[in-house]
Structure 1
């Protein structure tokens, strides 16, 4: 616990800012893709930690959408 007391002040400001930014970006992107209720899931999960929610969003939402679009375009 002593490590937390020794953390610089700027770190206490930077971490919540990064989490808020990530949650907001995931929420807005999911909303724009028309994912409905899942936008709230991605936004809230984005507030909990970094970068795992962003990587999972990339793997489970963005890449499959791109594959579908590429298949559709090829036909």
Structure 2
């Protein structure tokens, strides 16, 4: 339990801000693309940076590839 008290408050605030920012960005981008926005937003507020990496691989990369073959 003492390990938790050793974590600086600034670090905790930065982590919380990073998680909230990531969740918001994933939600807004997924909503714009029509790709299960609530799922990505909720998963985005759980950890950093794994949801963003998976989102890029599962949603963004296939969209970019699809647009590349259409034009």
The alignment covers a number of residue pairs equal to 71
4+ long deviations beyond 4 Å = none
TM-score, with length taken from structure 2:
0.95
RMSD, matched Cα? 0.8
What runs of 5+ residues in structure 2 fail to find an aligned partner? none
Matching residue of 1:48? 46
The within-5 A match list for 1:1-75 is 1-35=1-35, 38-73=36-71
What runs of 5+ residues in structure 1 fail to find an aligned partner? none
Partner Cα separation in structure 2 for residue 44 and residue 53 of structure 1: 10
